[in-house]
Structure 1
Amino acid sequence: MPKLFAPIIFVITTILTLVFTMFCSVPMVIAGVFKLLLPFKVVSRGVSAFCNFMMWCWCVSLALILKITNRIEWDIEGAEDLSKQTWYLLISNHKSWTDIVSLCVVMRNRIPMNKYFLKQQLAWVPFIGIACWALDMPFMRRYSRAYLIKHPEKRGKDIETTRHSCEKFRNHPTTIVNFVEGSRFTEQKREQLNSPYQNLLPPKSAGIALALNVLGAQFDRILNVTLYYPENEAKPFIDLLSGQMKRIVIRIETLPVDDSIRGDYMNDKAFKRQFQQWLHEVWQRKDLLLSQLKEQFSKPQQ
């Protein structure tokens, strides 16, 4: 879209997004109330199915908004063999809020609806907590090492709490999403954290290690997703809202799940080192891929 119209498109996109978000989220909140008041399996399963459908509708609405307001060239590789009948753990780099939109739009018909591990405190946030609960998103209660030293009887309780909240995932295919860096990437953060990578922040391994430990052999595959916005690196989300997004590059690497990456991360030091090394190697490949993509899509020298 011409830059002249960017402010107008920004307003239109923002309004449409808010309207569709409210349209999809309010029914989920109402359904969550029914689920809370009627704690029966048949009700719970019905609410879960309904909320997953509303989440899918939200993803469809985002795709429609992008089609109306942007002229995006989607460059996707590695999505050929994905299935909605498979359990996935999806890990990705994190540059912008655009990442969530991109994953929703691209993956909505390829894999099961995304679920995010959330902090226990979010369960008590009005509307957000009950909507996420209705969507069966697991709430994690994590204890620090210092707390466990003072309260050894709590050791393993965080694992059990998370495992219990994930039991329902055994009944239907699910995708768990984790932005492993824990924060959106900026050059300033990369320097502050003394990152060993050129294009990434250091990955945080505890979250996905816990997910793999909790769900055991439930996951069929790990999806290592790399997101890149060649012409819109500086402000991808603003550009997306303004109709200025030109290209979204998505590379998907499918990794196996085996016993080498399932174990007690919190208490087994040898496994913890092994898992961190495995994730470091995954992140090295991602960093190299991003460098290659930057070179591939760089403007020719004049």
Structure 2
Amino acid sequence: MTSKWIAWLRIGSGMLLLAVNSVVHILPLLVVALVKMTVRIGVVRRGCDRILMAIAADWIAVNSRMIDVLTDTRITVEGLPAPDSGGQMLVVCNHQSWVDIPVLQKLFNRRLPLLRFFLKSQLIWVPLLGLAWWALDFPFMKRYTRAQIERRPELAGADIAATRRACRKFRDLPVAIVNFVEGTRFTPAKHAAQNSPYRHLLKPRAGGVAFTLDAMGEALDTLIDVTIAYPEGRPSLADLFANRIDTIRVHVRRLPIPEPLRSGDYQKDPEFRRHIQDWVNQLWAEKDLALDRMQPTRPTD
């Protein structure tokens, strides 16, 4: 019974500290974002961008330090790339848990440009965090169901156009765009429903990769391929703060993006679509083999 109370105390303390740290950093973030939005002078806006990135990096660094202090979780990493804060890169990763996000941020904060994730449009309404993501130019995506498109055919392709608009602003900036290529977190039920050919992974969705490459033109030339494994099973954020995760294993590869794949029409060019799909499927096959070594048992609920 005592251990349960200790776990809940850890979880509550961790969440409270995260909330306090978020408020402390989001408020100045919003002030700078408002200055950037209202002042149209280029040098001022560029200065605001630098300040925003510095605040975000400090926010992430404090979160990471809190996790270090509050937990005994060890993150072992193979292949961590050399620092490159000025590059333009696509980061792809398997997705098992919400813990994936603080792991990625801890590993790459101030090593790569600020990681930006594609977010569902509804998340802009999350108190404070939604405004922070907006201020940091996280791309918000509105997805339409097949039924909605059938009722309003003009919506077909709107999500793709939104991806292009969201990414276009990054063409001349250092950026690391994160794509969870499976499109959702792994669960055994999803794995079975897909009849996935991979032991540890869901089927990859190559379209998101293709649209990001298309939207960025030829600016993206580097792929950061990240594989995250939880040898003790898929954890929750509560497990992290309750100190129930012993080890997290991460494998990182820095790869060139093949030049022929950096421009093309995924929707209208079947040959280009096949090349993108073959490339992503090969990455996923290699990732599955890596997980055989890093996480011998299949993830469970």
- Per the shorter chain, which TM-score range? 0.7 to 0.9
CA distance in 2, matches of 1:201, 1:277: 16
Shift of 1:295: 3.5
Whether 1:188 aligns to 2:158 is no
CA distance in 1, matches of 2:140, 2:8: 38
Equivalent residue for 2:254? 254
> Could you tell me whether the CA contact under 8 Å between 2:196 and 2:203 is conserved in 1?
yes
Within 5 Å, which residues of 2 pair with 1:1-302? 3=3, 5-120=6-121, 122=123, 127-140=128-141, 150-151=153-154, 162-231=163-232, 233-262=233-262, 263-295=264-296
Any idea what the Cα deviations from partners look like across 1:108-130, whole Å, max 9, x if unmatched? 12111111233456557664444
CA distance in 1, matches of 2:269, 2:120: 23
Question: Structure 1 pair 128/19, CA: closer, same or farther in 2 (3 Å)?
Answer: closer
CA distance in 1, matches of 2:28, 2:210: 34
Shift of 1:222: 0.4
Matched pairs, number: 292
Q: Identity of counterpart residues, as a percentage? A: 34
> Could you tell me whether the CA contact under 8 Å between 2:96 and 2:234 is conserved in 1?
no
CA distance in 2, matches of 1:37, 1:226: 41
Any idea what the Cα deviations from partners look like across 1:198-223, whole Å, max 9, x if unmatched? 11111111111111111122123101
Question: Structure 1 pair 167/274, CA: closer, same or farther in 2 (3 Å)?
Answer: closer
Shift of 1:106: 1.0
Counterpart of 2:290 in structure 1: which amino acid? L
Shift of 1:137: 2.1
Runs (5+) with no aligned partner, structure 1: 297-302
- Partner secondary structure for residue 181 of structure 1: coil
> Could you tell me whether the CA contact under 8 Å between 1:91 and 1:179 is conserved in 2?
yes
Question: Under a length normalisation based on structure 1, what TM-score does the superposition of the two structures give?
Answer: 0.85
CA distance in 2, matches of 1:120, 1:10: 28
CA distance in 1, matches of 2:124, 2:16: 27
CA distance in 2, matches of 1:51, 1:83: 18
Counterpart of 1:180 in structure 2: which amino acid? V
CA distance in 1, matches of 2:143, 2:266: 13
CA distance in 2, matches of 1:171, 1:265: 23
Equivalent residue for 1:300? none
CA distance in 2, matches of 1:238, 1:23: 22
CA distance in 2, matches of 1:133, 1:71: 33
CA distance in 2, matches of 1:242, 1:210: 39
Question: Structure 1 pair 122/13, CA: closer, same or farther in 2 (3 Å)?
Answer: closer
CA distance in 2, matches of 1:144, 1:265: 20
Counterpart of 1:207 in structure 2: which amino acid? G
Shift of 1:24: 1.6
CA distance in 2, matches of 1:173, 1:112: 6
Question: Structure 1 pair 238/168, CA: closer, same or farther in 2 (3 Å)?
Answer: same
Shift of 1:16: 0.8
The answer to which of 213-222 and 233-242 deviates more is 233-242
Question: Structure 1 pair 23/160, CA: closer, same or farther in 2 (3 Å)?
Answer: same
Shift of 1:269: 1.7
RMSD: 2.9
Shift of 1:258: 2.4
Question: Under a length normalisation based on structure 2, what TM-score does the superposition of the two structures give?
Answer: 0.85
- Partner secondary structure for residue 290 of structure 1: helix
CA distance in 1, matches of 2:64, 2:99: 12
